[in-house]
């Protein structure tokens, strides 16, 4: 009779440990999500800000920030992988709690969705073989950008020549490397990271020189997590967590861990791109 008794004691011990672990996690805040206990996020592949990992896991700066917020509130993160252009749609139709992936804080977006406190800043850059860095240097050339990205809209309005739009950054990079476009407009951080990993051979990545015709080149964009305006409780909690992470230096740590400069966490006061 010793074995059954010992087995029962072992099971009881495991359950007790699990119970203590569950009680040990005290959420910093409580806020409503689509599925209780998890934060559902719309995500796409955009290293180093959002990466798709084996086993359905996600990584990158934005993902790591959301994971940190979830952990502090005894929650998990559930990713929903979509194209960039579908992230906003998923947020607005309440299929997800948050949209992540280097999204700019713009006045236009603020009219239709919640934008979190800024998490970091991103600088616009031009990717080319000759190192072009000015808007005038793009005229008459084949320029590409990702559909739905602020860079695309501002360049379309500023250039007399048309801008070729792509569904995602991967397709944009492929056409640039194949020579089907002359210049790609994208964030500096993602290019610098990719180049450090051996990508963009023969391609120069230059921060766009300030030009009033492209406002985001004058004042680097602040990046936010996206949420539905109908869930202010979620927004308030996320903002409070982001402020705490900044105060603790954790966002700078996360940027550095993903191959970016810690200075990117110096966002300044919240502002919107007009």
Domain coordinates of the chain in residue numbers? 29-121+222-264, 124-218
Interatomic CA distance for residues 197 and 178, integer angstroms: 19
Alpha-carbon Rg for the chain, nearest whole angstrom, is: 21
Q: Which CATH class is domain 124-218?
A: alpha beta
Give pLDDT tens digits for 29-69: 999 999 999 999 999 998 899 999 999 999 999 999 999 99
Question: ω before 35 within 30° of 0 (cis)?
Answer: no
Residue 151 pLDDT: 85
Lowest mean pLDDT among 6-20, 146-160, 213-227, 231-245: 6-20
29-121+222-264 with 124-218: one CATH topology?
Answer: yes
Regarding the domain delimited by 29-121+222-264, which CATH topology (the fold level of the hierarchy) does it fall under? D-Maltodextrin-Binding Protein; domain 2 (3.40.190)
- Buried b or exposed e, range 34-58, using 16+ CB within 10 angstroms: eeeeebbbbbbbbbbbbbbeeeeeb
End-to-end Cα distance, the chain: 76
Confidence of residue 10 (pLDDT cuts 50, 70, 90): very low
How many CB atoms neighbour CB 270 within 10 A? 13
Does residue 15 have a pLDDT over 60? no
Confidence of residue 252 (pLDDT cuts 50, 70, 90): very high
Interatomic CA distance for residues 33 and 9, integer angstroms: 38
Give pLDDT tens digits for 63-112: 999 999 999 999 999 999 999 989 999 999 999 999 999 999 999 999 99
Q: Which residues pair with 41 in a beta bridge?
A: 79, 98
CB of 34 closer than 8 Å to CB of 157: no
% of the chain residues with pLDDT over 70: 92
Residue 7 pLDDT: 42
């Amino acid at each position: 009779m010793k074995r059954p008794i010992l087995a029962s004691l072992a099971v009881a011990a495991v359950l007790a440990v699990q119970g203590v672990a569950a009680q040990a996690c005290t959420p910093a805040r409580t806020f409503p999500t689509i599925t209780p206990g998890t934060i559902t996020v719309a995500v796409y592949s955009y290293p180093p800000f959002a990466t798709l990992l084996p086993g359905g896991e996600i990584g990158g700066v934005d993902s790591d920030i959301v994971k940190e917020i979830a952990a502090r509130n005894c929650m998990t993160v559930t990713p929903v992988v979509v194209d960039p252009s579908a992230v906003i749609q998923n947020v607005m139709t309440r299929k997800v709690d948050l949209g992540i992936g280097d999204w700019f804080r713009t006045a236009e977006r603020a009219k239709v969705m919640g934008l979190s406190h800024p998490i970091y800043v991103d600088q616009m850059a031009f990717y080319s073989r000759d190192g072009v860095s000015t808007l005038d240097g793009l005229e008459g050339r084949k320029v590409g950008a990702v559909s739905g990205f602020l860079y695309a809209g501002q360049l379309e309005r500023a250039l007399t020549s048309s801008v070729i739009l792509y569904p995602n950054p991967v397709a944009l990079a492929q056409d640039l490397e194949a020579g089907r476009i002359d210049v790609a407009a994208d964030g500096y951080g993602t290019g610098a990271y990719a180049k450090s990993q051996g990508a963009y051979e023969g391609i120069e990545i230059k921060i766009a020189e300030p030009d009033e015709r492209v406002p985001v080149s004058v004042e680097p964009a602040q990046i936010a997590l996206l949420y539905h305006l109908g869930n202010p409780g979620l927004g308030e909690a996320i903002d409070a967590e982001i402020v705490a992470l900044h105060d603790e230096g954790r966002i700078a740590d996360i940027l550095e861990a993903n191959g970016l400069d810690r200075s990117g966490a110096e966002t300044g006061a919240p502002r919107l791109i007009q």
